[in-house]
Structure 1
Amino acid sequence: MRQVIVLPYQSEWASEYSREADQLREVFGARLKQIHHMGSTSVPGLAAKPIIDILPVVDTLEGIEQFDGRMEALGYEAKGEFGMPGRRYYRKGGDERTHHIHLYAAGDPEIMRHLVFRDYLRTHPEEAAAYGALKEQLATTYPLDIEAYIAGKDAFVKELEHRAIAWKNAHD
């Protein structure tokens, strides 16, 4: 059973992303078009589960499984789509889950959704603080129930996503 742990923001999360991104650049080479730090660990000041979420963007998903062996050599477990068509998911750290890779092909709308959410929280510290407080409260309430933790923040996250998209549209 995974314990739900939410920590105050750790500055080393950014350097951990950078180290991992360098390794992913070597793995995917010319197929890699962009790479982004996403999720709560990518927002300075935001409390988060200590899992580095990385969003690599490749030219196409066609044949991308050829890299699974190299990802496994870095300690990742290849999970395929893992419930999300158009994504390839890898995780590292066993039960501790230290890193999640959400790999998409260029042009997938999920890329923008993730980046807009991140950028909105980076530029709206009051929203990030409210989100962090909710996550800390849920982790305290459901320390051994990741499903309840996720369900508890679902409505809040959806509302944040709506505000983030409206904010992006107003600034385009």
Structure 2
Amino acid sequence: MEKYGAGSIVVSDYDPSWPALFAQERVRIAQALGAFALAIEHVGSTAVPGLPSKPIIDLLVGVPSLEEAKERSIAPLEALGYIYMPDYASWLPGELFFRKGPPGPWTHHLHVTEPSHPRWEALVVFRDYLRAHPEAARAYADIKRGLAASSQDNIGAYRNGKTVFVQETTAKALAWHAAVRD
């Protein structure tokens, strides 16, 4: 069982300061990585106004090459307090994953990937879909709160419990996004 940080999983009510916390961190990352960071997005539940979440800011950083990112990004991000989690590569192929904050609870998750990687679009359109569809965001909130209560400190169970909803909603989001573009 993979334990969660420093105790039980907590899904907090939406905090209106989350976008500002993202904006502050975005500036720091942009300064650290310079032009190598092609884009920096706020993703995950803290990026959806009104959505309850674990109070962890998820950042998605687009880079031109993941292989080059291993050489150019790890040290500058570690200097900002991020901890590179290489063991997550098996769970998150095609990206570099970092955590920031005391050793649990974490305050930030950082995903570094190429914008052409399918996960980039999936994370962004999932966020945009939840922003545009409050009923889907409410359903997700209910699932997250139920899982937090039943999973205790088992982050694997919490994460896996969201999988079906996330996959189904991402499929809807991709179709919605394609229709909006046309």
Shorter-chain TM-score bucket reads over 0.9
Q: Does the CA-based 8 Å contact 1:60-1:106 persist in structure 2?
A: no
User: What is the count of residue pairs matched by the alignment?
Assistant: 172
In 2, the alpha carbon distance for the partners of 1:92 and 1:62 equals 22
Other structure's SS at 1:50 match: coil
Q: How does 1:109-120 map to 2 (within 5 A)?
A: 109-120=118-129
Structure 2 residue 138 is the aligned partner of structure 1 residue 129: yes
Give the partner amino acid of 1:15: A
When normalised by structure 2's length, the TM-score is: 0.88
Amino acid at match of 2:21: E
CA-to-aligned-CA distance 1:60-117 (integer Å, 9 cap, x gap): 2233233322211211111236223321111111221111111112322221111010
Residue 68 of structure 1 corresponds to 74
1:99 and 2:99 aligned:
no
Q: Distance in 2 between matches of 1:142 and 1:60?
A: 36
| Alignment match, 2:14 | 9
Of 78, 98, 104, the match for 1:90? 98
- Partner of 1:119, secondary structure, is helix
Identity %: 40
1:35-50 mapped onto 2 (5 Å cutoff)? 35-50=40-55
Aligned to 1:144: 153
TM norm structure 1: 0.93
Structure 2: segments with no counterpart, 5+ residues:
none
Q: List gaps (5 residues or longer) in structure 1.
A: none
